[in-house]
A and B are shown apart, each in its own frame.
Chain A
């Protein structure tokens, strides 16, 4: 229903910018790849948290689950996982190009599908909870997943899994992963943009505004909620798989389930940009990531203070986020207007 009014040159600019950025700033390739990852995080969080009103604090679970699924699948294709992990990260798989990429492809697909299945199963349980209970419940999932992964010896426990070694040079690796993450973020954007133009968007917006009413009107609420979370999980799962391969080492606390960094960043970025909008998460992630990188570089030691300040300013003064603030300031530009005509016929007539 709400057709996207974005001028075409914004898309061209984004695409061109995304393609040439690593060539112009080769030293920052990984940082810019992280920016696309952050955009993906914010977009997938906002689909459930912003558009549907289910504030999940546990979406990072799908990121970590995808990472572990791909790790196990990729390594399992060449050697026995249990034996490999019992070396406690000391052993690494060295593969050729074909083996490396084909196994990563299979691993990513498995991660995506596995996360969708997780989303369906967890949704079945979690969507009985509403409001803050859902937030705390999902946080519980992420925290318990990291504890479980930390004690499960078969997948390496607390000492983690070393991913297969990239067959080429490090510079080449960062470019390749930049391209993969960039394409994935663009696909995520295209997917949610399409979703927001269909009935699906109005249904999840209705669930956000008043779920009791949505039920009373006969909307298939369970179906919509599960699908939204599954889409979110699908892209997060693949992003986790790529991230694991990029980092080269998967362990539960800092890499797979970084609840207090990535897990919270997703929420903060969506809030900053304006939740429940198409561009809000993109803008929020970009601003947040730039502030974060700049403070990490120039205000080391104060970086958390600076981020905290950003969150406080956001929550106290711009609760609607950047996009929400713009919509409030210029409502007409977003289609909120009073029609002077009293009826449809008046429009079709002389006026």
Chain B
């Protein structure tokens, strides 16, 4: 089943065409990759999908439901979540609080606004912090953590939200090489154990080739190629795009 279906999406800022006629599919339960040189429109596409800005034309469907006119919060509550390239966390709160406020807000009524947190929820938050290796630092103010740790925290927050599909914008950028292997492992576990469909933007080729079964490559706002990691690696157009032949 197709979780996320993007059809002929175009988006331009003034005269700059950021996405033109992009179509792609993210099957349920998969890990799908999105690559492309800098400025090729990957983040713009992510922003279009989660409703950060209106798209010029095309359609975006999540589990068969058209979402291109929905607002950011509505889309997030449906279970389609994204992380940010420039990590965004609540930097004056500690790690546990960051996780507690990231619970799903799907069927939240007015009364839930004033509930307190059950010990079960706190347990869950601590387990997820342990999962990303931040258990020791859980009572520290998250703004004092290193960039890499903040990235891990943001990932844990996303897991706390129990999304169906998670869009990750460069999850390994700024994380040291030894930690990257651990992160790849965790991303795979998030996919297999928690059943979260992942759609990943990544610049690190080793990471994306290892992670994704199916990869889309964008260049100049257009979809260049779609294929398996092997096909992508050996495609002359992809190599040209990255080396600037276009």
Contacts and interface: CB of A to CB of B under 8 A. Distances in A.
B76 A199 contact: no
B11 interface: no
Chain A interface residue bracket vs B? 35 or more
B147 interface: no
A220 B73 contact: yes
A80 interface: no
Contact of A220 (B108, B137, B140, B161): B108
B213 interface: no
B104 to A, nearest CB: 7
B115 to A, nearest CB: 5
A349 interface: no
Contacts of A212: 88
Interface size class of B (residues with CB under 8 A): 35 or more
Given A210-B90, A336-B140, A202 B97 contact: yes
Contacts of B72: 215-216
Contacts of B104: 218
Interface string A312-351: 0000000000000000000000011111111110000000
Contacts, number: 120
A224 interface: yes
A338 B136 contact: yes
A1 interface: yes
A276 interface: yes
Given A198-B113, A216-B88, A219-B73, A336 B94 contact: yes
A56 B206 CA distance: 49
Interface string B60-98: 000000000000110011000110100011111110110
A200 interface: yes
A203 interface: yes
Contacts of B112: 199
A193 B123 CA distance: 24
A292 interface: no
Given A202-B100, A210-B90, A217 B116 contact: no
A118 interface: no
A223 B73 CA distance: 12
A293 interface: no
A335 B115 CA distance: 22
B130 A218 contact: no
24 contacts: A1-B96, A1-B116, A197-B116, A199-B115, A199-B117, A205-B92, A205-B101, A206-B93, A208-B92, A209-B93, A212-B88, A214-B90, A216-B72, A218-B76, A218-B81, A218-B104, A218-B161, A224-B113, A335-B139, A336-B94, A336-B139, A338-B139, A340-B136, A342-B130
Interface of A: 1-2, 195, 197-200, 202-203, 205-206, 208-210, 212-221, 223-224, 227, 276, 335-344
